[in-house]
Amino acid sequence: MKIGILGYGNLGKGVEAAVMAAPDMELVGVFSRRDPSKVKTESGVKAYAAADLETMQDAIDVLIICGGSATDLPEMTPKYAALYNVIDSFDTHARIPEHFGNVDAAAKKAGKIGIISCGWDPGMFSLNRLYADSVLPGGKAYTFWGRGVSQGHSDAIRRIEGVLDARQYTIPVPAAVERVRNGENPELTTREKHTRECFVVVEEGADKARIENEIKTMPNYFSDYDTTVHFISMEELQRDHAGLPHGGSVIYTGSTKTASGEKKHVIEYSLKLDSNPEFTGSVLTAYARAAYRLNKAGESGAKTVFDIAPAQLSPLSGDEIRAHFL
């Protein structure tokens, strides 16, 4: 199957690596809003202008859209679902119904598949919440994120006056994770679940006390958390915080009841990722395979990870999958 990538930041590069490693995919090109002559791809595949997508329907089976959820994807995914099978990693939870509806309408009209909100959360974590709740209805799902870099929180710090660069780590509170794992079913506040640790590079002579206070009191981002701020040099930031690791866990506690009493069960799914965008890109690529196959089978419209049978993600045959994984 022939794959196009729209958007060539960290996520686009992660998708590129996954597509190059797939035995059954061919990467057609990377599409960017930047001047394509200035985009040098890691694989050497050709860079195109995004505008070229208007006329390349015959060359591309699935377009993997690597844009931001705030403004890019709400516009891009429905637009390109009218031309291609598409897939995105839309993660603005409150707007998913609206986004699903827009992509569904465009994709159905075009006879294409549009998979939205794919990655690890939403994505693999969502799958695990649903599987667990389906098997043990009425239980409780806890999601912990980290230790990992939150790009949104890092960006928020960078917008503070006097800040040159910053990296923010989201960290689960170990005692909270343990209580959940032990089946205590605790009610946990935002503050009890995660802490935030910030590494900040400031301008020469900047007022560190003001900056630290602005971070710690920032509504939505930091004010509900216990936050630690470290001021470090640009050299330290580049040396020690260049990666984008992330991860976390979904822990589900449920029970069954028979004449012999109530029995507790704990289901835990966890990820420890050296690179958030490379793993997310790998998930998108596996689901791109499913988008292609579903469309070949005559399906159309918006889908999520919930609507797709696991076998659709693998390049292997049904016999091979049963032999290796069942």
Q: Scanning residues 21 to 40, which ones bind its own copies (CB under 8 A)?
A: 21-23
Stretch that binds its own copies, among 76-84, 126-134, 203-211, 230-238 (CB under 8 A): 126-134
**Sole binder of its own copies in the list 269, 291, 292, 293 (CB under 8 A):** 269
Nearer to its own copies, 32 or 285 (CB): 285
When asked if residue 228 is in the footprint of its own copies (CB under 8 A), the reply is no
How far is Cα 162 from Cα 164, in angstroms, rounded to an integer?
A: 7
Shortest reach from residue 23's CB to its own copies, in Å? 8
**Sole binder of its own copies in the list 173, 216, 266, 299 (CB under 8 A):** 266
- Stretch 307-326 residues interacting with its own copies (CB under 8 A): 307-311, 313-315, 318-319, 321-326
Nearer to its own copies, 131 or 231 (CB): 131
When asked if residue 191 is in the footprint of its own copies (CB under 8 A), the reply is no
Tell me the number of residues near its own copies by CB under 8 A.
72
When asked if residue 272 is in the footprint of its own copies (CB under 8 A), the reply is yes
169 close to 148: Cβ distance less than 8 angstroms = yes
Residue 190 class from Cβ within 10 Å (0-12 exposed, 13-18 middle, 19+ buried)?
Answer: exposed
Nearer to its own copies, 203 or 274 (CB): 274
Nearer to its own copies, 54 or 98 (CB): 98
- Residue 315 CB neighbours (<10 A): 12
How far is Cα 315 from Cα 89, in angstroms, rounded to an integer?
A: 22
- Stretch 55-114 residues interacting with its own copies (CB under 8 A): 93, 96-97, 100
How far is Cα 267 from Cα 251, in angstroms, rounded to an integer?
A: 6
Strand order in the sheet with 85-87: 47-49, 26-32, 2-6, 62-65, 85-87, 113-115, 301-303
Shortest reach from residue 125's CB to its own copies, in Å? 9
Running DSSP on this structure, what letter comes out for residue 121? Answer: T
How far is Cα 81 from Cα 217, in angstroms, rounded to an integer?
A: 41
When asked if residue 268 is in the footprint of its own copies (CB under 8 A), the reply is yes
- Stretch 277-296 residues interacting with its own copies (CB under 8 A): 278-279, 281-283, 286, 289
Stretch that binds its own copies, among 105-113, 119-127, 171-179, 231-239 (CB under 8 A): 119-127
240: left (phi over 0), alpha (psi -120 to 50) or beta: alpha
- Stretch 131-190 residues interacting with its own copies (CB under 8 A): 131, 133-138, 141
Beta strands 163-172 and 261-273, pairing class: unpaired
How far is Cα 168 from Cα 227, in angstroms, rounded to an integer?
A: 10
When asked if residue 298 is in the footprint of its own copies (CB under 8 A), the reply is no
Shortest reach from residue 301's CB to its own copies, in Å? 11
How far is Cα 233 from Cα 83, in angstroms, rounded to an integer?
A: 47
